[in-house]
Chains A and B, each alone.
Chain A
Amino acid sequence: MLEITTAIFLTLVGSAFYHLIPQGKLRLRMGWVAIVSFVIVFAYYPLAALFATGAGILSWLLALLGRRHAAVRKYGPFSLIGILLLFSYEDIRVATDSYSKTLLQFGMSFYMLRLYLALRTAAARTQVVRLEEFLAIALFFPIFPAGPICAQEAFTRSAVLNRPLVQNYLLGLLRIGIGIFALYFVTKVITRLTAPLIVLTGLDTAWQDMGWVNTYLVMVLKFLFLYANFAGYTEIAIGLGLFFGFQIPENFKYPFLASNIQNFWQRWHLSLSRFITTQIYLPLMLTLRKPRLSMFLAFAIVGMWHKMNPQFLVWGVGHGTMLVAYMTLTGSAVHTALVSRIHPWVWTVVSWLLTMTLVSFFSVFADQPSLAQSLALTRSLVPGW
């Protein structure tokens, strides 16, 4: 709780000075945002701040070169994948303990996506993107650990919006309150509910020692925990962004109301969903001309982007397969026959249950510390296996 208090305090101070800088001095404002962000990220994860700044400057130089050389413009953004790979491997000791290492890995994964977007946008723009503007969006501390992934143009556009300060601060406080509720209260309630159902061996879940009913319930609760954690964090990030007047995009739209996998991705992690569509799926589609294969490959790639391990590959392949199955079955003869015979309410409930079960399963599968643990979860879900 003290971490969020510090973050709110530092943002209030940082944003107060930001608003003292005249609106016309955009370069100065952006420079201030970059400095404040660097200091705050450095205070939490020093290595992340240093690596991020280094990668940011490198990307900015690539963007400048990309304006003159088509090859750099085309292939330059892929150099970021190398840096991402560096952070994804388990045996690279870049942090002192596993918790901060995980945070660093995830932070850098999101950071690389933002840099990738910023680099592509900057290389294509007619005006030269200045270093302070580039670093301000890349390093902006509320979105540093886990997004949302926002495009540079939208960020800069919202920075020059002439909205009343009081409105931004009030809305910011409102969103931060929702974030605190989800991140600190709801997660504690879920932990409390999970405790009597779960069997632990050390710090790991002993899935093999739990019945399939308990395994199912724990799996769903763990997914709810993930949602409360991620959505709460996003609300706080949006609220802190509003203190500066930045409109950070929404990331969730009631994902638990989704009744099919396509609808789920229209409600869950919207900024990543947009990134997958515009930066991976569409280019693959233009090259391969096969929508199903492109969708499958896009999600497999995103799985590996999350973390380079077999569990996340299964997550990506699983989501890709579900979407391909949905694309294939919707409108097919089998689908039409089923829909005509089953009551719409029953169909909706079954479809919702299936969607929630599968997304919970793949998320918890990916979240396990080892593939053996993930397989134990799978076995435990099947009665008598």
Chain B
Amino acid sequence: MEYEYIICFETHVELNTNTKLFCGCRVSYDAPPNSCVCPVCTGQPGALPVLNKKAVEYAVKAGLALNCRINTFSRFARKNYFYPDLPKGYQISQYELPFCEDGFLEITDDKGNPYRVGIKRIHLEEDAGKLVHSADTSGEDYSLVDYNRSSVPLLEIVTDHERNPMHSLQEGRAYLEKLKQILKYIEISECMMERGQLRCDVNISIRPRGSSEFGNRAEIKNMSSFRFILEALEYEIKRQKDIIESGAEVKQETRFFDEEKKITLPMRSKEDAPDYRYFPDPDLMEVKIDRDFIDMIQKVMPELPDRQLNRIIEQYGIPKNDAVILTKDKAISEYFTACAAICEDKRRLGNWIIKELFKLLNEASVSIVSCPVRPHDFVRLIEVVSKGSITESIGRTVLSEMFSTGKGPDSIIDEKGLKPIEDDSALLKELEEIIRENPEAAARIKAGETKPVDFILGQVMKKTRGKADPKKVRDLIGKILSGSY
């Protein structure tokens, strides 16, 4: 039987603000336990939350990047439940009136067409602390709690069940990758999954093709990598198919993914779903977002990846495959953008970043953010190569030298004596000698063959260690053998 799927994501993104959502404590991933805490984020009696404006700015920024409506009035609500990592006994989140609603994110669907995945809402909430169970560290039985993460700002991005949900694993993957790309582009999160900065809950329901109703959906919690998310989905699809094919009905429930066994297991049924007793947080005022605030954010909004992709294809004539690579990652795109602003030969620039620079970066395991070759120098090198002042091959040697020394191309060309031989007489001398040594090739050229020209040229380049200008050498070969020199 063939099946159709509805896949939805609830993605939690840790924002990279300097301070927490409701207090002035520093946000730090690796500070010693409970060193970034205060009365507010540890839920001391009498402490009150004060909203971090930067986080609101980031939420709106995400909303704009994901084509959402920004609500004029937004409100924080308390989500009440007991857990030792939740110091107040409630999480300050949003329920009614989140910051952003009804947006979309465009991906390429399974047929290769553009598809706008519906975004239902984006809201801001605080993270909980972290429990460290003694079993992780020793044999004793106790748990410790670290509140450094408590009240760190999180953005929750929820896709729509009804309006353009995803229908396949591929679409799911495309959505997640695109989402991460955009969030990094607008610089609101580092999105490091291994640090829990991007976490995902997934909803999935399926139906046999042609059937009118989808089955109940399962929500899978606690997945910390794209791979686990896709593995969980794959398992879940199979599980639900088996249930349907056995004639039973899929239960609506929350499940969790066992990363080792690669299976999902029941966590709680719909009947056991907790009642969070949401209500507006009386400690915080409604947040009013006016046109000016939105305009201010719009102004500092960087060019989004899709737009940039199209622009560099259309304006710069960069081939699509190259353009995709150049815009895939914020840091790469920034490097490219910085170079492109001062570079004439943008095609070669793109090509050289992908072919030559990436090779060096990979070999040295260096990220482009800390690339030792400054854009200015890189562009100068492209210029020199484009003008034909040095060959591509010498260009590669120079780049490698630039990479390891951090020096500019001109000084390297100078120091290493890689400057092209400008003097015709020197070239002539070499050429005459080679022709003398290879009379047969010379004869064939005279007879009108072109192939031996390349051979002679190769010999010249070898002798001059690549410093000869190939165009000029070809010219000279012709002239000598035709007797016009």
A associates with B: no
Could you list which residues of chain A lie within 8 angstroms of chain B, going by C-beta atoms?
Answer: none
